């Protein structure tokens, strides 16, 4: 079944559409094979959430946006899956919060960073960091291609948003003293546990929610935004996500 054949009334419409976008991304070099596997891991966990944003997901999105709004140099780090799934929302979030967009890839194969940049530009991005000669700085804590960052972006950022990230990079960014925000459907991943603010939700829902929150919070007093971001307790948020999933499964077990 191709994208055009999926009726919007199909019970798994959103899920099927997201798979189509990921597969399309594979053909345009935006997504890698391991990106397909990561997407599958995410989708399976989304079943546990009931494929809907829970209250802790929305609250994390609000705290995350507050952090972006009070940061001096916030950066949105974009990988292949994020660019394939939510390019427009990433551009919108960048515009509303003033955070810069930077391509940052686990697998920096020839032509790939340009493909991710093209996806963002097609979605309306005017400036995209981390591509070609702009990717000229390195983070010593990391190995190989993942070390490469933009000297105008992640290198000097105080806050980095790394949706669907792997644990090693997250840990390195935290060690460098940066404030780290992520979106991850897996509350048990190292990224979810190491980040300062983890939005346990599907990126397809989390990014539009962040854009909404950013519009609502923009212009609020800085002290209020800072208090909102500082009040976020990530361990409590992850514990709540796990309890929510467990409780939901127990209820569902009675119904099957
Ligand atoms: P870690 O290294 O952090 O322990 P990992 O090895 O799973 O975890 P990656 O594969 O780089 O690291 O991370 C991808 C993460 O993104 C996974 O935790 C996966 O569940 C999550 N994920 C995949 N698709 C989505 C999505 N659409 N929305 C939110 N999270 C997603």
User: Domain with 170 in it: what CATH number?
Assistant: 3.40.50.12640
66-83 average pLDDT score: 98
Q: Quick one: average pLDDT of 164-189?
A: 96
Do the domain assignments include residue 110?
yes
CA distance 149 to 136: 6
Q: What is the pLDDT of residue 228?
A: 98
More confident position, 242 or 105 = 242
> Which of 161, 186, 188, 206 has most ligand 1 atoms within 8 Å of CB, for mutation?
186
- Ligand 1 lined by 59 (C-beta under 6 Å): no
Query: What does the pLDDT read at residue 254?
Result: 95
pLDDT at 91: 98
The verdict on residue 44 lying in a domain is no
pLDDT at 216: 98
CA distance 120 to 182: 19
For ligand 1, atom 6: residue with the closest CA: 166
Let me know if residue 229 belongs to a domain: yes
Nearest CA to ligand 1 atom 20: 42
Domain that holds residue 130: 55-245
pTM of the model: 0.96
Which residue CA neighbors atom 31 of ligand 1 most closely?
A: 42
Residue 255 has pLDDT above 70, yes or no: yes
Measured from the Cα of 170, ligand 1's closest atom is 3
What was the pLDDT predicted at 46?
A: 96
Q: How far is the CA of 219 from the centre of ligand 1 (A)?
A: 33
User: Measured between alpha carbons, how far is 10 from 7 in angstroms, rounded to an integer?
Assistant: 5
Residue 50 lies in a domain: no
The CA-CA-CA angle for residues 151, 154, 157, to 5°, reads 100
For residue 32, being part of any structural domain is answered with no
38 in a structural domain: no
- pLDDT beyond 70 at 98: yes
CA distance 147 to 172: 10
Does the residue 139 lie in any domain?
A: yes
- Number of structural domains (the chain) is 1
């Amino acid at each position: 079944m191709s994208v055009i054949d999926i009726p919007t009334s199909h019970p798994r419409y959103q899920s099927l559409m997201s798979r189509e976008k990921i597969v399309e991304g594979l053909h345009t070099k935006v997504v890698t094979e391991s990106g397909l596997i990561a997407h599958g891991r995410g989708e399976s966990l989304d079943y546990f959430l009931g494929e809907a944003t829970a209250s802790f997901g929305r609250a994390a999105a609000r705290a995350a946006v507050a952090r972006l709004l009070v940061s001096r140099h916030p950066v949105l780090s974009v990988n292949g899956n994020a660019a394939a799934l939510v390019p427009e929302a990433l551009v919108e979030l960048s515009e509303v919060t003033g955070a810069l967009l930077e391509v940052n890839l686990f697998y920096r194969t020839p032509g790939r960073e340009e493909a991710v940049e093209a996806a963002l530009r097609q979605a309306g991005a005017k400036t995209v960091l981390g591509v070609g000669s702009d990717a000229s700085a390195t983070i010593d804590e990391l190995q190989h291609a993942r070390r490469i960052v933009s000297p105008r972006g992640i290198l000097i950022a105080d806050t980095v948003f790394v949706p669907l990230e792997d644990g090693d990079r997250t840990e390195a960014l935290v060690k460098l003293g940066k404030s780290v925000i992520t979106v991850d459907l897996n509350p048990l991943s190292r990224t979810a546990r190491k980040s300062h603010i983890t939005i346990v939700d599907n990126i397809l829902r989390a990014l539009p929610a962040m854009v909404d929150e950013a519009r609502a919070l923009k212009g609020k007093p800085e002290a209020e935004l800072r208090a909102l971001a500082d009040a976020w307790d990530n361990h409590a948020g992850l514990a709540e996500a796990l309890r929510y999933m467990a409780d939901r499964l127990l209820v569902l077990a009675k119904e099957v």
